[in-house]
């Protein structure tokens, strides 16, 4: 039980980590997860901005390609959900129990960033298509790993997985139409 005289005690019913978990620390970690995901998105956006007004505009677009203004809000929402999902997994188990799930999360986040570098930075839709295929599989692995720890966390990854499925279609279309 947490009392004023024993501030090192975790809040009742809360999972403890090696030094005890405190509600303010939980929210600091949530912030770090979300900001980390948004930072990866921001770096990817920076790579995208290098080509979007030049090379990208010259490409033939596949059917159902949304207007460019859709991508920023969608990705911002997805990165927020991804960071929150990772935090839920981190928060619900001891660190040793979630290491594999969070490692998968880090791998898919890296692949997500790499896609922007391949598609927009290197202007190589074919190589980006290979990356997005591996990314899609890694999101699935992360989804199922997260589901073992938190159904809410897995549910938060579902829109991301669906969007990357659509992005895979778009990537394949850009590659096919602009070979």
Give the model's pLDDT for residue 39.
97
How confident is the model over 11-65, as pLDDT tens digits?
344 444 444 445 788 889 999 999 999 999 999 999 999 898 899 999 999 999 9
In 3D, which of 75, 135, 77, 74 has the Cα closest to residue 104? Answer: 135
Q: Residue 121 carries which DSSP code?
A: I
Does 5 reside within a domain?
no
Does 71 reside within a domain?
yes
> What does pTM read for this prediction?
0.84
Helix pair 23-52, 95-116: axis angle to 10 deg: 20
Give the model's pLDDT for residue 95.
67
Does 110 reside within a domain?
yes
Does 17 reside within a domain?
no
Give the model's pLDDT for residue 25.
86
Question: What CATH number is given to the structural domain containing 85?
Answer: 1.20.1260.100
Does 54 reside within a domain?
yes
Does 123 reside within a domain?
yes
Buried-exposed string 114-136: b where 16+ CB fall within 10 A, e elsewhere: bbbbbbbbebebbbbbebbeebb
What's the domain range around 164? 23-58+66-177
When pLDDT is cut at 50, 70 and 90, the band that residue 177 belongs to is very high
In whole angstroms, give the CA distance from residue 30 to residue 38: 12
Does 162 reside within a domain?
yes
The values of phi and psi at residue 94, to 5°, are -65, 150
In whole angstroms, give the CA distance from residue 85 to residue 159: 12
Total tally of structural domains belonging to the chain: 1
């Amino acid at each position: 039980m947490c009392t004023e005289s024993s501030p090192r005690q975790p809040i009742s019913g809360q999972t403890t980590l090696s030094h005890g978990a405190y509600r303010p620390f939980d929210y600091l970690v949530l912030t770090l997860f979300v900001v980390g995901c948004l930072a990866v998105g921001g770096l990817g956006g920076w790579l995208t901005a290098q080509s979007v007004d030049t090379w990208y505009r010259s490409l033939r677009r596949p059917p159902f390609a949304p207007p460019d203004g859709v991508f920023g809000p969608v990705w911002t929402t997805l990165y927020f959900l991804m960071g929150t999902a990772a935090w839920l997994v981190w928060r619900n188990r001891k660190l040793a129990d979630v290491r594999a799930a969070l490692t998968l999360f880090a791998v898919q986040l890296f692949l997500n960033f790499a896609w922007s570098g391949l598609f927009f930075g290197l202007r190589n839709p074919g190589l980006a298509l290979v990356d997005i295929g591996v990314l899609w599989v890694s999101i699935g692995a992360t989804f199922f790993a997260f589901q073992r720890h938190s159904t809410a966390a897995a549910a938060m990854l579902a829109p991301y997985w669906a969007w990357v499925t659509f992005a895979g279609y778009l990537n394949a279309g850009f590659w096919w139409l602009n070979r």
